[in-house]
Structure 1
């Protein structure tokens, strides 16, 4: 639950900043005629809508299990995060690229360029504040892992999605600032359109990275090695278990894990003793791993488990 609270804090900060920045950029684009500024306005507007979709996804993912979804609705967050990636590409990158091409073909000098500089400077300050909030939350959740490794292993796309978007926003602002400055200095208004295309490339790259990570989560990713080790440790400690062979896990949401545990029980166990063992294990496992939504036990010899594991790994 703390993770979800942290996710919402990051999203609320991004929403507030993006909404104000989008309105300011559109007004500036209207007064100056800058293509790069218009692209940045579209970018901030798309980011605002994306924040709303992530909040909606968090809300939907927290619904309790029902008859048609016995393990809950955790993957709703993964779906809406994937939608966000598509919107970043289709709306953000697509419109920015179109505006850039149009402005290169029909260049117009930027008017009231000082307005652009003021707006871009304020936007960098506001966007930087939102970026710092997202970065702090991501650092808190990633632990000792590196940034790339943390993104690959993260099961909560709401945090790294906002971080990616804010990073892309800052890069876009710097590109817009450089393009507008170059267009004025060299008296080449086409460079303003080139800036829009640069912003489109940044957004397209961001969308591709987000889509790749969200696709993996939608397909179903395993729990961390630490979680798997904890499950096996709890199972092996029970007196009725001869050997905990291994565990297969899948994330249905950031805080929802389903596990299938292969166990070789003691040979002399009777049915009531076996039932008592399973009940003990379920209670102990959920106490050790609170995010464990369900666990299934597979009575299996070590040799059979190794054969199954080899088949899964393709060896």
Structure 2
């Protein structure tokens, strides 16, 4: 997915969450609803997260320099991890705190119909933002099943917004049930319980985001299909005996580092090997545009095995 598409999803979520946050804080202040105030905090955290993701995209697009020769693409993964921490610490933490306080000291909700109106408007805004994020993610995943696509995705911006918007939709339903339980049934503790449930939902989303971000931060390889394309290009050439090793790592959502160890046929001159490597690099970049940096090493199978054994021995 291009940076433009990612920004489109984030901007849509940012506008929606900002409008929703204002409405929720007004409603929470008027009615004194714990669940509504938790939802307001949730929207503020989401808005801040979208700003962090936009900042992360801008930082990640900086050109490579002497200190970071492979560029700054992985900085986006760092800011996604920061977003996960904020959701857990601020969003989930404050929601759980407000909920526990309200459960211990339940109070009736004033002007509950204000909450209903705000929740209904919030659902509309969130539904629009969620639909935009889901459509963009569908374009990216193609025919891949949803959860499998999330696991494979190397662009954290879209699935982060999708997770946040999904949590927001669940939170709005829970808040509505909490307000309705307090208003119609007189179970004022329901408002606090709803706030606790919202906090648990946010904590779950934060944990999922942290897990996904951790994998990207420590260096994830390209998907199997990409590696298979590279191997087919290499071993399909008559000048190659075999591919000893094909190593890949994502330096950003659309930037892959490739390091390959190749066993060339005996008798090839240095000029032939150099020409073959240049051809391989051009073909690989043409077939897989996301592979931006390629390092190909000419090495015999026995030499590669010796190196591998020495590395294992040093460990």
User: Is TM more than 0.5 here?
Assistant: yes
Task: Tell me, in whole angstroms, the C-alpha distance in 1 between the residues paired with 2:129 and 2:158.
Answer: 12
* CA distances 1:22-45 after superposition (whole Å, capped 9, x unpaired): 000000001111010000000000
Partner of 2:272: 273
Secondary structure of residue in 2 paired with 1:298:
strand
Partner of 2:127: 128
Q: For structure 1, which segment, 298-307 or 148-157, has the greater mean C-alpha deviation from structure 2 after superposition? A: 298-307
Task: Tell me, in whole angstroms, the C-alpha distance in 2 between the residues paired with 1:54 and 1:291.
Answer: 21
Structure 1 contact 232–246 (Cα < 8 Å) conserved: no
CA shift for structure 1 position 188: 2.3
Residues 306 and 133 of structure 1: is their aligned pair in 2 closer, same or farther, counting only changes over 3 Å? farther
The answer for unaligned runs of 5 or more in structure 2 is none
Task: Tell me, in whole angstroms, the C-alpha distance in 2 between the residues paired with 1:185 and 1:67.
Answer: 65
Q: For structure 1, which segment, 261-270 or 19-28, has the greater mean C-alpha deviation from structure 2 after superposition? A: 261-270
* CA distances 1:115-153 after superposition (whole Å, capped 9, x unpaired): 000000110111011111111111111122111111111
TM-score by length of 1: 0.94
CA shift for structure 1 position 164: 0.2
* CA distances 1:80-99 after superposition (whole Å, capped 9, x unpaired): 00000000000100000111
Partner of 1:210: 209
Task: Tell me, in whole angstroms, the C-alpha distance in 1 between the residues paired with 2:218 and 2:198.
Answer: 30
CA shift for structure 1 position 239: 4.5
CA shift for structure 1 position 241: 2.2
Q: Does 1:44 align with 2:33?
A: no
Q: For structure 1, which segment, 292-301 or 223-232, has the greater mean C-alpha deviation from structure 2 after superposition? A: 292-301
Task: Tell me, in whole angstroms, the C-alpha distance in 2 between the residues paired with 1:31 and 1:275.
Answer: 74
Q: For structure 1, which segment, 83-92 or 102-111, has the greater mean C-alpha deviation from structure 2 after superposition? A: 102-111
TM-score by length of 2: 0.94
Structure 1 contact 103–192 (Cα < 8 Å) conserved: yes
Partner of 1:282: 281
The count of corresponding residues between Structure 1 and Structure 2 is 310
Secondary structure of residue in 1 paired with 2:2:
helix
* CA distances 1:72-114 after superposition (whole Å, capped 9, x unpaired): 1110110000000000000100000111111122222100000
Q: For structure 1, which segment, 161-170 or 232-241, has the greater mean C-alpha deviation from structure 2 after superposition? A: 232-241
Task: Tell me, in whole angstroms, the C-alpha distance in 2 between the residues paired with 1:240 and 1:287.
Answer: 20
Show the 5 A alignment for 1:137-152.
137-152=136-151
Task: Tell me, in whole angstroms, the C-alpha distance in 2 between the residues paired with 1:193 and 1:305.
Answer: 63
Partner of 1:178: 177
Secondary structure of residue in 2 paired with 1:109:
coil
Backbone CA RMSD of aligned residues: 1.7
CA shift for structure 1 position 305: 5.5
* CA distances 1:248-268 after superposition (whole Å, capped 9, x unpaired): 111111011111112111211
Structure 1 contact 71–293 (Cα < 8 Å) conserved: no
Partner of 2:231: 232
Q: Does 1:73 align with 2:36?
A: no
Q: Does 1:101 align with 2:105?
A: no
The answer for unaligned runs of 5 or more in structure 1 is none
Q: Does 1:32 align with 2:10?
A: no
Secondary structure of residue in 2 paired with 1:65:
coil
Secondary structure of residue in 2 paired with 1:26:
helix
